[in-house]
């Protein structure tokens, strides 16, 4: 019962043949899933936190660094997807190459990535939704829109809109992947149109003085009883680490491989296409945003306390273009729903893969025969995500999401290299060019970014991994389906 036993490729192929999931996604639907997850998190959520807490106007450089790190990981993901087109993403890739313990740790990290990512987006959606209500002169009380840590009053408080949007998305996902994909496609068209509008319209309201200095001098931000290192070269790098959550979308494409019509070709295409499209848009929007609005105005304790939750819309408001802010508020409020949809969908498919392998309870792998979706799985996830989103501040969630993403990317770069050495004869419809160089660069830059996350995020995330190891030895190792076979590779 070695912790390094691997799941045979033949076992993955058998799982694919008997899967109850419906193959309904083509390459453009898969690309839309990637764009649907990527566009939103970075542009509508993290541009404010990235500019204020980390890089200032140099946030565009942070996006470039994060994008480069993603390219290396995306190429490795694409090769794996062409070999193992199954749900489970990096978890499944590691299980077929390095071993069960390694796969479990990646899967546990992916739970952190997707769950925290979903919660972050739910909290940000709440910010845009509250701004949308204000357009109609409706204002919810602070205790119903604020987590306890951020609440300035006394007594009970919760972020009710964040809670409710998760419940709404879960109800959509339970109905079926095909209908969810159609809704996502429509929302993606709206979101991309809104982003292009931001770039073009924002150009007319840029104040170049806001870019000076482009790289602010390194300093410390003091909030209540905590201090945070910001700006300078270190701030740019820590900014790249913090906004890495924004790039989770292409990973989400690989979690849907079990529902792709032609996964070996279409999943690699969708991974690379969605990454290139969105990185370009991120860089342009971050330049426009920090040109329109001084990065210090995103201070949650300053003149515009809500700007950090809905940064793009507030930038137009402050520029005196309330009409444009209104358009963006509507587009972001609708657009963030697809981000949340894709993240929860990805999380449920990772649970599905781990449950099929016996590493978590079987309830997570039960697929509803009518809808073709893991209904109970989604309902449990929804309850947890909705509750935590209602009571947790956004900056803590975003940093822990970035840890899970960076950790998974690093492990995939290692695993694809190992598989190339161990099984060079496997049929690969996509191969990473110059693999040793790409893998080393991917491992190095993703690992470096992990150690540039906030200390709190590192400690909480490493604590999460320790809990995962205890769960593995206490529960998963004994119940693994590999216990029923002597076949190992």
Domain ranges of the chain: 30-476
pTM reported for the whole predicted model: 0.78
Cα dist from 312 to 124, 280, 309, 315, 342, whole Å: 12, 17, 9, 5, 22
- Whether 489 has a pLDDT exceeding 60, the answer reads no
List the one residue out of 330, 384, 390 whose CA is nearest residue 123: 390
Q: Which helix (H) or strand (E) holds 439?
A: helix 435-450
- Whether 96 has a pLDDT exceeding 60, the answer reads yes
pLDDT at 486: 46
Q: Measured between alpha carbons, how far is 107 from 92 in angstroms, rounded to an integer? A: 8
Task: Work out the pLDDT band at 158, boundaries 50, 70, 90.
Answer: very high
**DSSP-assigned states of every residue in 203-246:** GGG--GGGGSSSSPPPEEEEETTEEEEESHHHHHHHHHHHGGGG
- Whether 376 has a pLDDT exceeding 80, the answer reads yes
Say which CATH topology domain 30-476 has: Amino acid/polyamine transporter I (1.20.1740)
Query: Of the ranges 100-104, 107-111, 245-249, 267-271, which one carries the lowest mean pLDDT score?
Result: 245-249
- Whether 18 has a pLDDT exceeding 90, the answer reads no
Give residue-wise pLDDT tens across range 379-420.
999 999 999 989 877 666 666 777 877 888 888 899 889 888
Q: Measured between alpha carbons, how far is 446 from 432 in angstroms, rounded to an integer? A: 17
pLDDT at 291: 93
């Amino acid at each position: 019962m070695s912790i390094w036993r691997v799941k045979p490729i033949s076992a993955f192929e058998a799982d694919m043949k008997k899967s109850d999931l419906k193959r309904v996604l083509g390459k453009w639907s898969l690309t839309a899933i990637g764009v649907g997850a990527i566009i939103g998190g970075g542009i509508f959520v993290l541009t404010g936190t990235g500019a204020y807490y980390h890089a200032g106007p140099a946030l565009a450089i942070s996006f470039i660094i994060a994008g480069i790190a993603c390219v290396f990981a995306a190429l490795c993901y694409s090769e794996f997807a062409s070999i193992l087109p199954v749900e489970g993403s990096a978890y499944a890739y590691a299980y077929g190459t390095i071993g069960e313990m390694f796969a479990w740790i990646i899967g546990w990290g992916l739970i952190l990535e997707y769950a925290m990512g979903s919660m972050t987006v739910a909290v940000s959606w709440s910010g845009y939704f509250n701004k949308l209500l204000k357009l109609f002169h409706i204002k919810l009380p602070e205790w119903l829109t604020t987590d306890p840590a951020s609440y300035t009053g006394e007594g009970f408080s919760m972020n009710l809109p964040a809670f409710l949007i998760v419940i709404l998305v879960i109800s959509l996902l339970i109905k079926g992947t095909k209908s969810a994909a159609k809704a996502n496609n429509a929302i993606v068209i709206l979101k991309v149109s809104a982003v292009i509008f931001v770039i073009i319209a924002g150009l007319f309201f840029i104040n170049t003085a806001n870019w000076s200095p482009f790289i602010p001098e390194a300093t410390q931000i003091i909030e209540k009883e905590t201090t945070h290192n910001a700006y300078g070269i270190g701030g740019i790098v820590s900014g790249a680490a913090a906004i890495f959550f924004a790039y989770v979308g292409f990973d989400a494409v690989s979690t849907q491989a079990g529902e792709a019509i032609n996964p070996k070709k279409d999943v690699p295409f969708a991974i690379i296409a969605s990454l290139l499209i969105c990185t370009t848009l991120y860089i342009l929007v971050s330049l426009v945003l920090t040109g329109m609005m001084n990065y210090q105005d995103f201070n949650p304790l300053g003149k515009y306390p809500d700007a950090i939750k809905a940064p793009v819309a507030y930038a137009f408001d402050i520029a005196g273009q309330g009409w444009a802010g209104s358009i963006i508020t509507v587009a972001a409020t609708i657009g963030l729903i697809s981000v949340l949809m894709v993240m929860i969908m990805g999380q449920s498919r990772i649970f599905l893969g781990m449950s099929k392998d016996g590493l978590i309870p079987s309830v997570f792998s039960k697929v509803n025969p009518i809808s073709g979706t893991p209904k109970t799985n989604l309902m449990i996830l929804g309850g947890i995500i909705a509750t935590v989103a209602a009571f947790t501040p956004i900056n803590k969630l975003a940093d822990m999401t970035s840890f899970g993403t960076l950790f998974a990317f690093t492990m995939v770069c290692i695993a694809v290299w190992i598989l190339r050495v161990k099984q060079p004869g496997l049929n690969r419809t996509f191969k990473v060019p110059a693999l040793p160089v790409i893998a080393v660069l991917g491992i190095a830059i993703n690992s470096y970014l992990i150690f540039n996350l906030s200390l709190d995020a590192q400690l909480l995330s490493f604590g999460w991994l320790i809990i995962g190891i205890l769960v593995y030895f206490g529960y998963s190792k004994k119940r693994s389906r590999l216990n029923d076979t002597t076949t190992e590779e």
